[in-house]
Amino acid sequence: MKAIELIITLNPEVMEIAGRSIAISSFSTIIASLICIPVGGLIHFHEFCGKKTLIIIIQTFYSIPTVCVGLLVFLLLSRSGPLGMLGLLFTPAGMIVAQIILISPIMLGLSISAFRGVGRAVQDTAVSLGAARFQSLCTIIKEARYALVSAVILGFGRAVSEVGCAMIVGGNIRGFTRVLTTAIALETSIGNFELSIALGIILLCISFTVSLFLNKIQQV
């Protein structure tokens, strides 16, 4: 089958698209993790007015349509938008911004759930044993590490499989912003099914790997 041959022979175009897709989604996930995990900890371990409402709002955005996020970022990054001077529209950097916004609610909500699973007793025990604030935080993160890793993996899975943000913000420019999902949509529309199938197989393999890692972590 031609599609399998494209993968086995490491077709340059296929590898380029797959590599770019993984790179953009990886950067998005890393940056979102650095933001969402600390913020999730702050939200969980501090009591404030409207905390429950805030968590409900975060959870509501779990299923936000990717095209809505793409439209929002497009308006922000367009020439007439407030961030137009940065020149990020139709660039990989702009796609990373869009994916960060897309996956942040999921990663933030799951981070809060991860810290909630640790329980207050662990923090109180660490403090009673003389642990400093930073040591207590490290203890809590260690206890919640598997759930936090699951949040990161799910965030990456959401990022790598989305198409709306990538299409609207990236523009699907060949050799620059074209990723797996946008390439599949384009190649299918013009009847290049061999390349579409090859890219689809790679995307499915990535999704399977993400699910496999998640399953392994949940069994620990």
Tell me: the pLDDT tens digits for 146-192? 889 889 999 999 999 999 999 999 999 999 999 999 999 999 999 99
> Is residue 55 a contact partner of residue 112, using CB atoms and an 8 Å limit?
yes
At residue 115, the pLDDT reads: 86
Q: pLDDT at position 186, please?
A: 93
Structure token digits, residue 186: 């384009």
Nearest partner of 108 among 56, 67, 71, judged by Cα = 56
Tokens linked to 11: 């077709």
Q: d(Cα 134, Cα 90) in Å, to the nearest integer?
A: 41
| Domain carrying residue 20 | 2-219
Domains of the chain: total: 1
Whether 36 shows a pLDDT value over 90: the answer reads yes
- Looking at per-residue pLDDT, the higher value among 130 and 67 belongs to 67
Percent of the chain with pLDDT over 90: 63
Q: What is the mean pLDDT of the chain?
A: 89
Rounded Cα–Cα distance for residues 77 and 155 (Å): 23
Is the distance from CB of 171 to CB of 100 less than 8 angstroms?
no
pLDDT surpasses 60 at 53 = yes
Indicate whether this model's pTM tops 0.85. yes
Q: What CATH number is attached to the domain comprising 198?
A: 1.10.3720.10
| pLDDT of residue 119 exceeding 70 | no
What was the pLDDT predicted at 130?
59
